[in-house]
Every structure is written in C-alpha cells, then in structure tokens.
Amino acid sequence: MAWSEFDLIARFCADLGSPRADVALGVGDDCALLRVPTGMELAVSIDTLVEGVHFLPGTDPQGLGHKALAVGLSDLAAMGAEPAWATLALTLPQADAAWLEAFCRGFAALAERHGLRLVGGDTTRGPRSVSVQVHGLVAAGTALRRDGARSGDLIFVTGTLGDAGLALAGAPDADLAQRRFVQQRLDRPTPRVAQGRQLRGLARAAIDVSDGLVADLGHVLEASGVGATVQLERLPLSDPVRAQVTRSGDWSLPLAAGDDYELCFVAAPAQRAALEAAARAWDCRCTCIGTVETALGLRLLDRHGAATRSAAGFDHFAVSG
C-alpha cells in the first residue's frame, strides 16, 4: 500500500523511545516542548549519515537506526550527559514503510535502553540521509569538556581500538567469529553512556573516539594546551586487531581508524584508584595508555621506548627521537 509522509511519521515516529515526564509536547506540532530542570545544562549534538558516504546502499536499516542514534549517544557520553531527547531528520528516496519500520526498530531499541524519547524531526524526499540530533542533561558546570587536561594526568580509553577499522578493511586474515565480532563493532557500536556518567567528577576531560585515537586525543591536547606520550604496547586491542598489528608492524588501525566510539579521557593520578574501582563494574575494559605532559604534541613510544612514526595522516603530531 502507498504511504504518505504523514502516515509514515504517525505510524513509526510518533511513539518512539521511552515516554518521559519532561516532554510537555512531542511529535505532531510545529515544535516539541521540553522541560530542562533547574540547575541542569542542555547538551546538544547532531550527526548526519549520508548513503554512499557513511553507509553503503543496501545497508540493513535496523542496524542503521541503531548506529545513527549510537553516534549521538556517544557524544553525550563523552560529555558525561544523560540522554533525554532526540530529533530525527530523514531524507528518503521514496516512502518505503518496510525500510522505515526496520530503521525505527533499531533506533527505538537503543533509545529505550537509554530512556530517550524521539520528540520530533523532519521527513523529506531525496538521496537517502539520516540526521539525528541528541539532547542530554548534565548538572551545570559538571560536563566533561575537551579542555580540562593538565600535565601529569593519566590517559585512559574504554573498550578496544581498531575493531571497526579492521571490519572496514574486510578483516582478510580474521576467522569467521572474529570477522563477525569486528563487523558488529562497526555496525552496532555501543555508546559508553554509563561510563561517561560515572566519569563526571573523576575525569578532567573526555572525548569519544570517532575519528581515531591520535586525531581525537589530539583534540583534547590542543584544547587543553598540553601534549602527551602514549605507549603503543598498552593500547587495548582485540585478538584480531592485535594479530593484524603484529603481522604488519603497522599501528594505524588502533591509532588512526575511526568509528570505534570508545571514550578517551584523562584523570589526575589521585583519581586512579577511584576510577579503577568504578571501572571494575563496567562491561568494557578501561586501560591507562599514557600520560599528559607540558611538551606539546603527541609522542608514541614502542615497547623499547623508541618513538614510532605510524600511519600517514598524523605526521603533524610531533614524534620524539
């Protein structure tokens, strides 16, 4: 049957995610009306996924619904913000109810896991693209910004690095189970929302690793006016990524591949015990990979303590030696 744009919105988008008492008015009017509690700040971020650029034509819509929201939730996690609301701008080549139903199923499952409500959006016809704006709440003055790192702080990352990059590269040497694992990491990233929440008050600065560790840690260092040394041997790697790095001697996957959506954060050494105690309850690893220093630039040390120059694309980061 032929669906109009309005039918599609009403059917799939009007009641999506967790109902929330702070939504005075959701989908259906010219604007949503949302209540920001006194003393809280609104954390807002938007990301766009374009077919042919960020995902391939024919990509499973349910997975895309998950990922489109996950990348926004990862931004909220990196600020230590609580997910609250989202708006969704969809551009679709045709009113395809099956595609939209599956997309919304993937989106809704993740939204419900994080107590988030879809409160509005826009639907247009054209080459397929998806924009999700997320809105989170964080007590005023407590958000984890990029500019809080200080010399002497320890640098940590959650989870493992390079898995999504290995999937993008086709994981040619991985076995079937490993290939499934890295593909899942690429298609269904897990935003580290609970970790971000707990890092408020423990970490001094944080960012999510969407463009690769060197680039994203680089943003923290630059914003904070500091440098750092990272020990390559300490980078948390899954078995297939470790095998690939060992085979090739090339650290580009964990250093420069994007799409992992882990958190990279820095904390004062005095917070280390509290941090490690909190991290014991996490469903992912938490690994100290290096130290913040006053000397600008990012130094990458191999296990012999020698500076390593790795993949192209971050040659502008100073490498000692």
How far is it, in rounded angstroms, from Cα 154 to Cα 291?
A: 5
* Nearer Cβ to ligand ADP (29/304): 29
Please report the sign of the dihedral spanned by the C-alpha atoms of residue 309, residue 312, residue 313, residue 315: positive
Query: Do 150 and 202 form a contact (C-beta atoms < 8 A)?
Result: no
How far is it, in rounded angstroms, from Cα 282 to Cα 159?
A: 10
How far is it, in rounded angstroms, from Cα 121 to Cα 27?
A: 8
Partner whose binding site includes residue 30, from Mg ion, ligand ADP, none (CB under 5 to 8 Å by kind): ligand ADP
Minimal CB distance residue for Mg ion: 122
* Nearer Cβ to ligand ADP (91/151): 91
Q: Which residues contact 141 (CB under 8 A, 6 or more apart)?
A: 41
* Nearer Cβ to Mg ion (89/223): 89
Residue 73 CA, distance from chain mean position = 7
Q: What is the DSSP letter of 57?
A: T
Q: Which residues contact 62 (CB under 8 A, 6 or more apart)?
A: 102, 103, 105, 106
Q: Which of the residues 114 through 133 are near Mg ion (CB under 5 A)?
A: 122
CB of 122 to ligand ADP, least distance (A): 5
CB of 130 to Mg ion, least distance (A): 15
* Nearer Cβ to ligand ADP (103/251): 103
* Nearer Cβ to ligand ADP (96/302): 96
CB of 53 to ligand ADP, least distance (A): 20
How far is it, in rounded angstroms, from Cα 191 to Cα 74?
A: 5
Binding site for ligand ADP (CB under 6 A): 9, 13, 27-30, 88, 90, 118, 120-123
How far is it, in rounded angstroms, from Cα 128 to Cα 113?
A: 26
* Nearer Cβ to ligand ADP (126/305): 126
CB of 96 to ligand ADP, least distance (A): 13
Partner whose binding site includes residue 120, from Mg ion, ligand ADP, none (CB under 5 to 8 Å by kind): ligand ADP
Q: Compute how many other C-beta atoms are within 10 angstroms of the C-beta atom of residue 35.
A: 12
Partner whose binding site includes residue 292, from ligand ADP, Mg ion, none (CB under 5 to 8 Å by kind): none
CB of 200 to ligand ADP, least distance (A): 30
Partner whose binding site includes residue 112, from Mg ion, ligand ADP, none (CB under 5 to 8 Å by kind): none
Give the interface with Mg ion as residue ranges (CB under 5 A): 122
